[in-house]
Structure formats: structure tokens, C-alpha cells
Amino acid sequence: MTTDKQAKEKIEDLGKELVKEVLANKPPILNVPVRALSNIVFNKQKEALELGNKISERNFFNVAHAKKFLQTLEVAAKSKDLLALGKHASLRDVFYMIKRTIPNTKTNIVDEQSESDNAIEDLELLTNLSREQLNINANKMGSVAGQVVIEDKGDEIDWSKMGSGGWSIPSNVEEIKFKKVKAKYVIYMEKAAVWERLHEDKFWEKQNCIIMSSQGQTTRGIRRLLQRLSQEHNLPIYVLADFDPWGFYIYSVLKFGSINLAHMSGSMTLSTARFLGITADDIEKYGLKKQLIAFKDVDMTRLKQLQNYEWFKHSKDWQRQFKMMQTMNAKAEIQALSSRGISFITEKYLPEKIKNEDFLM
């Protein structure tokens, strides 16, 4: 573990290095690894996306780079302050902490949060520290329920006794200790609404499992928590997502890592993840044809991109799914199952799928 003090020193070193260049009359340059598909390598052995070795040179004395250079330094300075104070800030906080107008200009240091977020990712790459280690957190966004007892900051928490909302997953889950894990597997789902269904039907109790969801994006906290449950307690992870290219990609990110976070793939990937549904075969088997929604152009474009990803290219099963989706030229949401009955998902669909081990790897 990196302590706050060590993290702070790493950031300070970055600054000292640059000042040394400046005082030697050399233009200050940051060497940031390129975070784009062009610099992503799929490690077949580890089954994970990793960053290649393309470096983009960010020279302050280059019109195209000056602003980004400044943004990165601003973020570094703020992170250093946070570490010194032992406080945490959200991504949004950091955005406001550095947002201001540069004197004598009409230029703001940042105009949108995406700019400060990018600067933070640069800082992660430059210091080799994760965002959490820099005391910058994302918003909590996920819920969990199941037969698990944990300890967090001295509090004991029973995930089976969290009322109707479940326990909300913090952005940093490194400090959590698992006290008792009775559950046998985890279902991670794309939709909070589906989680509510499973929770109301006490699915986790009946099936002795953990149900987890996020609102939309799979946050780093959730990915890390899933990884820990998989690695430390050997729990299989099942992914329940929409039958569309975006749903497939949620699985892809969980399993192989994402392009933006390729530099953190070691602590993020989940080689044991399995795609439970909705699959193209489910559409047939569970009579969801009437619930299909016609593809738009963007869907088809995205599907074609997925088909060509290195990590899907050689999987016959996945290529078959892609092809079937292409032929249907349509997609379906998880909630399409409700057409068969409100609790069809918890009483029939999920138990059957899990029992028959009907999933994709």
C-alpha cells in the first residue's frame, strides 16, 4: 500500500523534475502514455487490455499542449494539498477547485469536468498512482445486497440487513474487510431497476447470492469489489445486461478492462466473469421476439466495432452472438422479461440459467 505521504512525495518529485528542467532553460515536458485504442494491447495470457508503450510528449511551449499541461499541473497541486490534509475530494470537487479564469484572458483553466477528469487520468499515469491513492474519489453509484458481513472504517455491516436500498458501494473499497461470506456467487446487473426487482423478490436470500448494480456506468469501486470477491472468495461473477452492443461491452469492460483504464488493468480485470444474459438464444427460448427494439445506425456501428476487438475476434461463441444480433437487427432490454410476468426473471429465468450453467465466457 502506498501511504498518503509516499503519494505526496511522488507528486512533488514530478514538480521538482519539471522545475529542474525549467531552471536549466529546457522547455518543461510531460511524457504521458497515450490512452487510446491505438495504444491498447490485448494481453492474451492475462486476458486483459494493457497499455502499449506509445508516449505523447506534452511540451508546455507548444500551443497545442500548453493548456493541457497547465491542467495537469493544477490537478497535481490540488491532489498534493488533499494528501497533505488527509482529505478526499470527488471528481466534481476537483473540477471546481481548479476552475477559474486565467488573468488577462477569456480562457478558463477548465470548462468541462471531462477536462479535469482527463488531467487526473494523466496524473495517474505520470505518478503510477491510482486516483484513489491521490485522494480523489468518484461518486458512489452502486448498491449491493446478500449474505455477506463486512467491516468498513470500524463499522460492521451486514449486506443482508440493509433495508430496501441495500448498501451503497463507496468509491474506494480497498479498506473493506470481508468478515463472513456465505453467498455462493455474484450477479452484477446493468440496471438499478432490475436490482430493485431482485431485491424485492429476496432473490439473494432464496438463491444465496450477492446482487450488485450501478446506475449506468460500472464504477471503479464496483469493479474492484467484484474483483476482490472473485479473487479472495472464489465467487463466480455473473453479468446480467441488455441484449445490445452496449450491454455486451459492459461485460467486456468488467472482464478485460477498458481502454481508458488500461493502465490499471491489473487491479480491475475479472477473468472469471461470465455473461449470463440476455443472449440471442434467450430471445428465442424465452419468447422475447415481440419485445425487440429495432436497431439504429449507431447500434450497428458499435456492433461492428465489437466484432473486431482483438479479445472477441477469436471467440466463436461471441462471434455467433454478434452475428445473430446483426441478423435480428434489433436489441432487447433486461426488463423485456417482465412481459412474461413481473417475477418471471427471479422465479424462472435466472434460476434456470444458473442451474443449467447457460452462460457465455
Partner 1 sequence: MAGTKKKGTTDTMNKPIAEELSKNQRDISVAEFFERNRHLLGFDNKRKALLTVVKEAVDNSLDACEEAKQLPEIIIQIVEMGNDRYRVIIEDNGPGIVKKQIPNIFAKLLYGSKFHTMKQARGQQGIGISAAVLYAQLTTGRPAKIWSKIGANQPAHYYELHIDTQTNNPEIMREEEVTWKKTTGVKIELDIDATYQKGDQSVDSYLKQTAIANPHATFIYTNPKAEQFVFARATDKLPKEPTAIKPHPYGVELGIMLKMLKNTECRTLQSFLTQEFSRVGPQTAKDICEGAGLVPSMKPDELQLPHVEKLIEGIKKTKIVAPSTDCISPIGEELLEKGMRKEISAEFYTAVSRSPEVYKGIPFVVEVAMAYGGEQPGDQPVHILRFANRVPLLYQQGACASTKAIVQTNWRPYGLSQSQGALPVGPLTVIISLVSVWPPFTSEAKEAVAHYPEILKETKLALQEAGRRLGSYVNKKRRIADQQERISIFENYIPEVANALSDLSGVNKEKIEESMKKMLEKNKEYIQAHKEAHKVEKVEKKSKEEQVALTGFEDDNG
Q: Which residue among 96, 185, 251, 349 is the active-site one?
A: 96
State the residue for C-alpha cell 467491516: 151
When the beta carbons of 74 and 333 are compared against partner 1, the nearer one is 74
In which element (H, E) is residue 306 found? helix 297-308
Cβ contact 270:237 at 8 Å: yes
Query: What minimum distance in Å lies between the beta carbon of 154 and partner 1?
Result: 25
Cβ contact 136:81 at 8 Å: no
Bridge partner residues of 184 (DSSP)? none
When the beta carbons of 6 and 114 are compared against partner 1, the nearer one is 114
Starting at the edge strand found earlier in the chain, the sheet holding 185-189 runs: 167-169, 142-146, 209-214, 185-189, 237-240, 273-277
Q: How far apart are the first and last CA of the chain?
A: 32
Query: What minimum distance in Å lies between the beta carbon of 334 and partner 1?
Result: 14
Q: Assign 3-state DSSP to the chain and report helix, strand, coil percentages, each to 5.
A: 45, 20, 35
When the beta carbons of 91 and 328 are compared against partner 1, the nearer one is 91
When the beta carbons of 244 and 282 are compared against partner 1, the nearer one is 244
Query: What minimum distance in Å lies between the beta carbon of 122 and partner 1?
Result: 12
Cβ contact 261:309 at 8 Å: no
In the numeric block, which cell numbers belong to residue 66? 500548453
State the residue for C-alpha cell 487491479: 267
Q: Which residues contact 144 (CB under 8 A, 6 or more apart)?
A: 159, 166, 167, 168, 169, 210, 211, 212, 225
When the beta carbons of 57 and 284 are compared against partner 1, the nearer one is 57
Collapsing DSSP to helix, strand or coil, 309 comes out as: coil
Query: What minimum distance in Å lies between the beta carbon of 335 and partner 1?
Result: 17
249 part of the active site: no
Query: What minimum distance in Å lies between the beta carbon of 356 and partner 1?
Result: 28
Catalytic residue positions? 96
